[in-house]
Amino acid sequence: MPGNTFGHSFRITTWGESHGAAVGVVVDGVPAGLELTEADVQKELSRRRPGQSEVSTPRSESDTVEILSGVFEGMTTGTPISMLVRNKNANPGAYDYIRNIPRPGHADLFYMEKYGFRDHRGGGRSSGRETVGRVAGGAIAKKLLSSFGIEVLAHVIELGGVKARQVTVEEIRDNVDRTVVRCADMEAAEKMLEQVRLAREEGDSIGGIVELIATGVPEGLGEPVFDKLDADIAGALMSIGAVKGVEIGAGFDCARMKGSQMNDAFVMEDDGSVITETNNAGGIIGGLSTGMPLICRIAVKPTPSISKKQKTVDMSSMEEMDIEVRGRHDPTIPPRMVPVAESMLALVLADHMIRSGRMNSEYLLR
Amino acid sequence: MPGNTFGHSFRITTWGESHGAAVGVVVDGVPAGLELTEADVQKELSRRRPGQSEVSTPRSESDTVEILSGVFEGMTTGTPISMLVRNKNANPGAYDYIRNIPRPGHADLFYMEKYGFRDHRGGGRSSGRETVGRVAGGAIAKKLLSSFGIEVLAHVIELGGVKARQVTVEEIRDNVDRTVVRCADMEAAEKMLEQVRLAREEGDSIGGIVELIATGVPEGLGEPVFDKLDADIAGALMSIGAVKGVEIGAGFDCARMKGSQMNDAFVMEDDGSVITETNNAGGIIGGLSTGMPLICRIAVKPTPSISKKQKTVDMSSMEEMDIEVRGRHDPTIPPRMVPVAESMLALVLADHMIRSGRMNSEYLLR
Amino acid sequence: MPGNTFGHSFRITTWGESHGAAVGVVVDGVPAGLELTEADVQKELSRRRPGQSEVSTPRSESDTVEILSGVFEGMTTGTPISMLVRNKNANPGAYDYIRNIPRPGHADLFYMEKYGFRDHRGGGRSSGRETVGRVAGGAIAKKLLSSFGIEVLAHVIELGGVKARQVTVEEIRDNVDRTVVRCADMEAAEKMLEQVRLAREEGDSIGGIVELIATGVPEGLGEPVFDKLDADIAGALMSIGAVKGVEIGAGFDCARMKGSQMNDAFVMEDDGSVITETNNAGGIIGGLSTGMPLICRIAVKPTPSISKKQKTVDMSSMEEMDIEVRGRHDPTIPPRMVPVAESMLALVLADHMIRSGRMNSEYLLR
Amino acid sequence: MPGNTFGHSFRITTWGESHGAAVGVVVDGVPAGLELTEADVQKELSRRRPGQSEVSTPRSESDTVEILSGVFEGMTTGTPISMLVRNKNANPGAYDYIRNIPRPGHADLFYMEKYGFRDHRGGGRSSGRETVGRVAGGAIAKKLLSSFGIEVLAHVIELGGVKARQVTVEEIRDNVDRTVVRCADMEAAEKMLEQVRLAREEGDSIGGIVELIATGVPEGLGEPVFDKLDADIAGALMSIGAVKGVEIGAGFDCARMKGSQMNDAFVMEDDGSVITETNNAGGIIGGLSTGMPLICRIAVKPTPSISKKQKTVDMSSMEEMDIEVRGRHDPTIPPRMVPVAESMLALVLADHMIRSGRMNSEYLLR
């Protein structure tokens, strides 16, 4: 089984290489009746696109999306939505020197091993550029979710060792796109930016942590035993390049907690609904959503492409050598990962909303 | 889509409730030609079964497995293997008091919400008892992997705040089943055991961290883009009840590392093979195995069933009330999670080994 | 990918060999709230079981089913339903002579080729006995569908060259289980029975045609482009052993029709609903149900096990030889295929009903 | 679950509407190392394209394909291959009159019912134009299969009541594209052509039968129990619009045969291989390929679009009315179905070849 399709009831199939003709996605399972224009998708792609600031690669791509199917008279029809983004600023020649030389921290060597043959230009399919398809698909998922009152947000909470203070959902909404590092704590954002500049000057790169929040998620979403909501979220987020860890709610801190601290007590709201008093569970218990805000965090490794000297092996001569990775690269990944991570979470939620029968065209068209 | 099936090319479907007639699993996709007896499976079930020590629930189940199909004259035939474990020490009456009262930290309320109706006895399907099927299936996966030189190990590295020192693979192999807490650092194990006793006395529970290691994994396992090896592992491990975080290699620590620290340099071995000098990647880069040991860790929350007083709501009267959870429970989960986590990792690896064409009956029968 | 699972939203996984310990099925995706007892399933299994009449094998199996999970206080819980039937009258020794000798018309040789090794006793997994799992799963699908006003019926319309006259749905309901050949035209049934007796005397076997009808199917069921309702039905029915053809509505006759004959005109009913005047489409157009009765037919080959002398090859000595197939066999398959075919059609319809959001526990529990 | 993806290990996802911007397909699971150019795909698309002869619609489309990903330096890389065909001769305005009026024999009414809303232009997604994606994907499957010595052929054997004589595989290869009706019996082809002209003059349409043959298929392909080779073929072929029946080997004739006639005896070839003396099974027994030529047939209904007067209902006014379908249509479908049916059979075979580990990049790249 090939691995370029994600989701069950709401499903994306992405395709394309970093320096090929184009990248794109087919989104299948979108209910009929959603108002959708290219602008809805473009907005998210522009948050992801390279060249937008000093914390991202200077590769200049407008990432203009074209919707080729599945929308008629401004509304989705229930048939697959195919979206296409042409690669404009490809510079494949710049990668000739790595044709036989695997870059440390990259998948080069393992693609060679797996396929016996690879498109080495900019990492080909293993490039972060494959996330264009995720974000285009995620834009539709987000629009769909918002019709049902579900909002998905992400923000950088740690970068190069600088931690943001606790922020509110409102602060995230207001601030996250106001700083190039996408941290909602504006003071921490300044310090993070310094760390990025420092790393860039050193020819090095830095890692960080992105937090995701979804509000408005109804209770009971997720399917026992293997398709639990947290299992699907973990798989979705870990599938993004450079992510090395995923945690939900209290996450790794729960290892040091007692049951009496970790358990979220049930209490009644004035309107008679039952909620949990705390949210250490991060909105998921037993693999099902609790109705509380869904909270998770991902650990993002520092960009593997650095201009510092590193050891590698020339696979044609089979000799050890040093490499300084050239080309256009991001000094840090978390800021541009914000829309990508939001997309993956939105895709999981849309999938489960449809799968459980909650999200359908009857609602949209009424 | 229901969620009780896991895997693509090697696939398990588990079934059964904590206090129903039985629990079990159907394993589909096992190549023909594997020698298999009930003893192979029993060995792993006995590591998981309740009542084995003071750190586990006193519920007494022998968990005797019966293989009903798919094995002929001691060898697998390529057809589905159905396995059955009767529930012997069920005590459903003990749960009458929670029929309408959700226990904090448990899925009770959300199953009610999802299905409108539930088997409340011991958590029904949401009980940890569902892992019998995982472990029985995992036992076959482990046996299969070992025929191909792949070993899967897990051990407790942190419990109730006590951290184990770094141990070797040999130490894990030798020690992990020698202590009831399944920590390979025998000194730390003693301290952990004290923490368990303390928690039990307080009517409380403690969380911890389990580390998993797989050796002998060949290069290039995993499928870009969405079925990456780490994505599948994250999903598999997060699907286990009580797991709140998953990390690979350096994991969350990578957020504080620089690219020059995180990247694993390529070097040549004397035999001409190319390996990485360090293993911060934890054996996976770009979603593909690197040929280095595969290393991951999971955060396990403290057992939600505690006898301390907690707030909840009676869903029949819709009134807030206090609950002290009775019944037979584990004071801590990580020790019994060791065989479960090993099973899930083994299932993922077996799945990808078969999917990639590496593991088949030609090899087994030659 | 293994092939023992059928369906998407309503899914069965069957297991078991003809002369192994047991056969069974796990049914996943049954909505919570369906009243279900073992008697519901037993009724259908008894229609399928061997030894029920002179047209079936004398192997004597009560085929008593045990429900092991997924039902609580007489109602389905939404969790997997595991069902088990022990093989009682197995007689594996009777098959020693075919260990290395493939029977013409059977899958023996191709299982050997595929798996390198097989359970040869009574065909092992390739035996018609695997349909026990299909029928047990189908019984739940049928009960579920009937809650939503959908009825699934099958009857023999041709056997050994004898054709039944056109019958009404009422006649099928009333007559099909009154004759051992399961033909609703009682006169034709008599003649068919003679053909069966004749074939049995000659040590030969006969084929036939089974027709299926589903009433109450709502409009718009099915998913363009590849999961069309007719595509899923064709796959489901062709997956039954001995089926060599499937047709919908006018079927192969449409090849000789003109568009003006084949097209079903749209007309209005008194109640304002739009139906088709004729039903050459057999209730499916463009892969979607039309709201008219769903009609399809399957061609069933004569039982391959015959006691007449046939040519084969001894695979151990690699020499040509003659074989007379001994053991207990049906002289004709269509009568016992009636409940099997009904089951497969019911499984497809239940799957699409759930998948499309039409059939859920809200309805059942209200 | 949406339904626009076909296959497991070799998988296509098609998209696009008849009068939208474009139609296309993403092909995932193609092994690395296959030489592939746009000409390989164009060749098959040109066999399918409209406007090629008097037996097809006059809509003029060059159907020029663009490969956007997955091919590097003339070879497949193992990553998804995205292919795009722009719609050039769309004439959506011509369909304004059917916006609210369902055409008999078409899916119009049922799409309205299913989605509440549809792209009515030329049938939108339910148009035969969706087969562009199938044929583009099938072209890759065919090229891949031919590398492994498997050939897939189809030819018209009956049209408008005219039956072709039995022909050889060589005749099919030589003749099928020499006549516009794609019948390898050149005399029958002439008579069929007359029937097409007659139907066109009458404003009517005719149906027919297409036979498919695959040679070089190895033994043991297919997966018991539900993913049998014949089950997958039946599902694949029935998913093509206008197909109302599928049969394998003797097909519906087997209903009138005895076991002693139907069974294919095993005999040895001079080279020591075991084959069947006859091939009533059509190359598949027990769901597994037998190594004999694979033979199946499909019944194709007459084109539903006819200019004769038919009854229908105006869904806006809810009044009965007459319709004469205008627009550009094929007077008969089987000739253009030949490449489509070949594609579906090739897709199934490629899927099972890869799934069983027989077809991989090691072979292609050696």
Does C106 sit within 8 Å of D255, measured CB to CB? no
Does D5 sit within 8 Å of A117, measured CB to CB? no
Rounding to the nearest 10 degrees, give the CA dihedral for residues B209, B210, B215, B219: -60
Written as six digits, the tokens of B144 are: 């299969």
Q: Cα B270 to the chain's mean position, in Å?
A: 37
Look up residue B130 and give its DSSP letter.
G
Written as six digits, the tokens of A74 are: 């401004």
C276–chain A Cβ distance below 8 A for any pair: no
How far CA A326 is from CA of A57, A362, B151, B218, in Å, comes to 12, 52, 39, 30
pLDDT tens-digit readout, D266-282: 999 999 999 999 999 99
Please report how many Cα atoms fall inside a 13 Å half-sphere around the Cα of residue B105, on the Cβ side: 28
- Does the pLDDT value for residue B112 go beyond 70? yes
pLDDT tens-digit readout, B196-227: 999 999 999 999 999 999 999 999 999 999 99
- What pLDDT, on the 0 to 100 scale, is given for residue A306? 95
Residue A149 — pLDDT band, cuts 50, 70, 90? very high
* A224 contacts in chain C (CB < 8 Å): 79
Nearest CA to CA, how far is A357 from chain C (Å)?
5
Query: Is the torsion defined by CA of B197, B203, B207, B212 positive or negative?
Result: positive
Q: Which CATH number does B5-359 carry?
A: 3.60.150.10
Residue C55 — pLDDT band, cuts 50, 70, 90? confident
- What pLDDT, on the 0 to 100 scale, is given for residue B118? 87
D93–chain B Cβ distance below 8 A for any pair: no
Over range B57-64, report the average pLDDT.
85
| Separation between Cα atoms, residue D243 and residue A9, nearest integer Å | 27
Residue C327 — pLDDT band, cuts 50, 70, 90? low
Does D237 sit within 8 Å of C234, measured CB to CB? yes
- Does the pLDDT value for residue D327 go beyond 70? no
Residue B327 — pLDDT band, cuts 50, 70, 90? low
How far CA D46 is from CA of B109, B352, C317, D85, D340, in Å, comes to 59, 39, 52, 12, 11
pLDDT tens-digit readout, D29-79: 999 999 999 999 999 999 999 877 887 777 788 999 999 999 999 999 999
Query: D328: annotated binding-site residue?
Result: yes
Nearest by CB: B360 against D1, D224, D357: D357
Is C123 in contact with C303 (CB distance < 8 Å)? no
Interface test with chain B among D5, D9, D69, D364, by most B beta carbons within 10 Å: D9
Over range B102-126, report the average pLDDT.
93
Residue of chain B whose Cα is closest to the Cα of C79:
B125
D357–chain B Cβ distance below 8 A for any pair: yes
C224–chain A Cβ distance below 8 A for any pair: yes
Name residues 59-88 of chain D within 8 A of A (Cβ): 66-70, 72, 75, 77-82, 84
Written as six digits, the tokens of D303 are: 């084109």
- What pLDDT, on the 0 to 100 scale, is given for residue B330? 86
Query: B305: annotated binding-site residue?
Result: yes
How far CA D231 is from CA of A74, A238, A265, D288, D327, in Å, comes to 39, 36, 52, 10, 36
| Separation between Cα atoms, residue D322 and residue D104, nearest integer Å | 10
Does D79 sit within 8 Å of B224, measured CB to CB? yes
Domain C5-365, CATH 3.60.150.10 — does that match? yes
* D1 contacts in chain B (CB < 8 Å): 1
Nearest by CB: D360 against B1, B79, B357: B357
Q: Over A283-345, what HEC string results?
A: CEECCEECCCCEEEEEEECCCCCCCCCEEEEECCCCEEEEECCCCCCCCECHHHHHHHHHHHH
* A1 contacts in chain C (CB < 8 Å): 1
Which residue reads 């489409």 in tokens? C281
Crossing angle of helices D131-147 and D38-48, rounded to 10°: 130
* pLDDT over 90, % of chain D: 88
Domain positions in chain B are: 5-359
Nearest by CB: C234 against D225, D234, D255: D234
* pLDDT over 90, % of chain A: 88
pLDDT tens-digit readout, A88-106: 987 778 888 889 999 999 9
- Does the pLDDT value for residue D88 go beyond 80? yes
**Chains contacting C with at least 3 CB pairs below 8 Å?**
A, B, D
Written as six digits, the tokens of C9 are: 């939203």
* A116 contacts in chain D (CB < 8 Å): 32-33, 361-362, 365
Nearest CA to CA, how far is A166 from chain D (Å)?
39
| Separation between Cα atoms, residue B78 and residue B55, nearest integer Å | 38
pLDDT tens-digit readout, D120-172: 998 999 999 999 999 999 999 999 999 999 999 999 999 999 999 999 999 99
pLDDT tens-digit readout, C227-242: 999 999 999 999 999 9
Does B16 sit within 8 Å of C69, measured CB to CB? yes
Residue of chain C whose Cα is closest to the Cα of D241:
C286
Q: How many CB pairs under 8 A join B and D?
A: 6
| Separation between Cα atoms, residue D182 and residue D208, nearest integer Å | 12
pLDDT tens-digit readout, C99-124: 999 999 999 999 999 999 889 998 99
Does A2 sit within 8 Å of D82, measured CB to CB? no
Name residues 9-48 of chain C within 8 A of B (Cβ): 9-11, 13-17, 20-24, 26, 28-29, 32-33
- Does the pLDDT value for residue C92 go beyond 80? no
Q: Cα C273 to the chain's mean position, in Å?
A: 33
- What pLDDT, on the 0 to 100 scale, is given for residue C61? 85
- Does the pLDDT value for residue C274 go beyond 80? yes
Nearest CA to CA, how far is D348 from chain A (Å)?
14
A321–chain B Cβ distance below 8 A for any pair: no
| Separation between Cα atoms, residue B173 and residue C336, nearest integer Å | 55
Average pLDDT for chain A: 95
Does C360 sit within 8 Å of A360, measured CB to CB? no
Does C119 sit within 8 Å of B82, measured CB to CB? no
- What pLDDT, on the 0 to 100 scale, is given for residue B54? 81
Nearest by CB: C357 against A1, A224, A360: A360
Which DSSP string corresponds to C303-340?
PS--SS-EEEEETTTTEEEEE---S---SBSHHHHHHH
Nearest CA to CA, how far is B59 from chain A (Å)?
20
Over range D185-212, report the average pLDDT.
97
| Separation between Cα atoms, residue B324 and residue A74, nearest integer Å | 56
Nearest CA to CA, how far is D170 from chain C (Å)?
25
Does B1 sit within 8 Å of C9, measured CB to CB? yes
- What pLDDT, on the 0 to 100 scale, is given for residue A72? 96
B92–chain C Cβ distance below 8 A for any pair: no
Q: Cα B52 to the chain's mean position, in Å?
A: 17
Query: C48: annotated binding-site residue?
Result: yes
Does D6 sit within 8 Å of C264, measured CB to CB? no
- What pLDDT, on the 0 to 100 scale, is given for residue C48? 93
User: E strands along B95-174, which residues?
Assistant: 151-159, 162-163
Is A164 in contact with A185 (CB distance < 8 Å)? yes
Name residues 121-150 of chain B within 8 A of C (Cβ): 121, 124-125
Give the H/E segment covering residue B252.
none
Written as six digits, the tokens of D34 are: 């296959």
* B108 contacts in chain C (CB < 8 Å): none
| Separation between Cα atoms, residue D336 and residue D129, nearest integer Å | 11
Residue of chain A whose Cα is closest to the Cα of C31:
A356
Q: How many CB pairs under 8 A join A and B?
A: 363
The closest of B278, B309, B306, B282 to B295, measured between CA atoms, is B282
Nearest CA to CA, how far is D4 from chain B (Å)?
17
Residue of chain B whose Cα is closest to the Cα of C25:
B26
Average pLDDT for chain D: 95
Interface test with chain C among B1, B36, B130, B355, by most C beta carbons within 10 Å: B1
Q: How many CB pairs under 8 A join A and C?
A: 6
* A360 contacts in chain C (CB < 8 Å): 357
| Separation between Cα atoms, residue A80 and residue D16, nearest integer Å | 7
Residue of chain D whose Cα is closest to the Cα of A361:
D115
Does D1 sit within 8 Å of C259, measured CB to CB? no
Average pLDDT for chain B: 95
* pLDDT over 70, % of chain A: 99
Nearest by CB: D272 against C106, C226, C318: C318
| CATH fold of A5-360 | Chorismate synthase, AroC fold (3.60.150)
Is D116 in contact with D348 (CB distance < 8 Å)? no
Residue A248 CB-density burial (10 A; 0-12 exposed, 13-18 middle, 19+ buried): buried
Does C263 sit within 8 Å of D251, measured CB to CB? no
